[in-house]
A and B are shown apart, each in its own frame.
Chain A
Amino acid sequence: MAMRFSRDCDACDGDGQCEYCSVEFHLRAKCINDQTLDVTSKDLYSSDHTVVPVDFSDSSTGIDNGESKGIIIVKLRRGQELILRAIARKGIGKDHAKWSPAATVTFMYEPDIYINEELMESLTLEEKREFVESSPTKVFDIHPTTQQVIIHDAEAYTYDDEVIKKAEAMGKPGLVEIHAKEDSFIFTVETTGAVKASQLFLNAIDILKQKLDAVRLSADTVEADEQFGELGAHMRGG
């Protein structure tokens, strides 16, 4: 399928109207009766059946509503009519943020959590519970059998030093030591829904490779300079 960018499309001279670089949608809606008519994304009819409006509204509820209503565009009163033609083109986020499939992308260093077991032994079960509770996110937990403080989810640690402060407040500094691993990261990728998050990551790697390829020194750029080389440069500039 491989839709092209309108700019690069030679079939229509970059006009952005041909079948290779654009998808046309049309919508006709008229409200005839007294009830308010909801014009939704389901009313947008595509000229290419493989390209459809994105709609995740039904899967989120989990209740079987039968058909999903689609995303509401506008509501019409009796006598009002809407006729429009929409053209969808491919683009990149650099051109306009509407084309970026990434919603939120974050990264943090992976934490290295070390519990000082000897100091931990000196705490009562109540104090251990207080310590575990003091973290806003569930990083630690009490092991059901051994009643020890264990690491429940190291990645949930957000580098707020609440547990460190709690340990100091209890009079036990150095109870836990948390460092950020310098070369291990946790990336969180959230998309708008147009592409899957895993697919977005793979696409991003491909695009980065393409960029690097474009930026490589070609043999003729080097050759043109090689002819004159160091001596030429010195002769030219001193």
Chain B
Amino acid sequence: MNAPDRYERFVVPEGVSKVSYERDTKIINAASFTVEREDHTIGNIVRMQLHRDENVLFAGYKLPHPLQYKILLRIHTTSQSSPMQAYNQAINDLDKELDHLKNEFEVALARHTGKQQTQDY
């Protein structure tokens, strides 16, 4: 009765921005990002990438409620960088990693199918 529709999990409604953030008033170089209609798929992978950044002091994410489809991502950085910069950098790095993974997979796949074709004799 109170359950939201399934499409709410991935359809961003009108007027709501996909990602927004609020700086922390009490701590310098800290911000909380709210990503709408996303879940652990993005939250975990971005958090893991942020941990690999040496300028990031703190990075964590949570789903405030399982029936509210958004994630809160909190980032603290050193003064060498800013949370926004770290966030975008992490996403760019992940993009490159996925490109690399895709290329390697395609190479290995071509090698495998090539080997299979010669083995069929």
Question: Do B19 and A236 touch (CB < 8 A)?
Answer: no
Q: How many residues of A contact B (CB 8 A)?
A: 28
Contact with B along A181-224 (1 / 0, CB 8 A): 00000000000000000100110011011011111110001100
Question: Do A94 and B9 touch (CB < 8 A)?
Answer: yes
In the assembled complex, the Cα of A237 lies from the Cα of B28 at a distance in Å of 13
Question: Do B19 and A217 touch (CB < 8 A)?
Answer: yes
Contact with A along B1-27 (1 / 0, CB 8 A): 000001101110000011111011110
Chain B residues touching A, range: 35 or more
In the complex, the chain A residue whose C-beta lies closest to that of B71 is A215
In the assembled complex, the Cα of A82 lies from the Cα of B102 at a distance in Å of 47
Question: Do B25 and A215 touch (CB < 8 A)?
Answer: no
Interface of B is mostly: helix
Residues of A within 8 A of B88 (CB): 216-217
In the complex, the chain A residue whose C-beta lies closest to that of B6 is A95
Contact of B10 among A92, A201, A221 (CB under 8 A): A92
Question: Do A205 and B98 touch (CB < 8 A)?
Answer: yes
Residues of B within 8 A of A205 (CB): 98, 101-102, 105
Question: Do B7 and A208 touch (CB < 8 A)?
Answer: no
In the complex, the chain A residue whose C-beta lies closest to that of B12 is A214
Question: Do B42 and A202 touch (CB < 8 A)?
Answer: no
- With A7-B11, A211-B41, A212-B42 given, is the CB distance from A202 to B106 under 8 Å? yes
Q: A130 to nearest B CB, angstroms?
A: 34
Q: Is A105 in contact with chain B by the CB < 8 A criterion?
A: no
Q: A180 to nearest B CB, angstroms?
A: 19
Residues of A within 8 A of B63 (CB): none
Contact with B along A22-34 (1 / 0, CB 8 A): 0000000000000
Residues of A within 8 A of B87 (CB): 217
Contact of B19 among A208, A221, A225 (CB under 8 A): A221
Q: A203 to nearest B CB, angstroms?
A: 11
Q: Is A238 in contact with chain B by the CB < 8 A criterion?
A: yes
Question: Do A209 and B98 touch (CB < 8 A)?
Answer: yes
Residues of A within 8 A of B98 (CB): 205, 208-209, 212
Question: Do A214 and B25 touch (CB < 8 A)?
Answer: no
Contact of A212 among B7, B20, B95, B106 (CB under 8 A): B95
Question: Do A237 and B25 touch (CB < 8 A)?
Answer: yes
A interface, CB within 8 angstroms of B: 7, 92, 94-96, 198, 201-202, 205-206, 208-209, 211-217, 221-222, 225, 230, 233-234, 236-238
Given contacts A212-B46, A217-B84, 4 further A-B contacts (CB under 8 A): A198-B109, A202-B105, A215-B19, A215-B38
- Chain A to chain B contacts (Cβ below 8 Å), 5 pairs: A95-B9, A212-B95, A216-B19, A216-B88, A217-B84
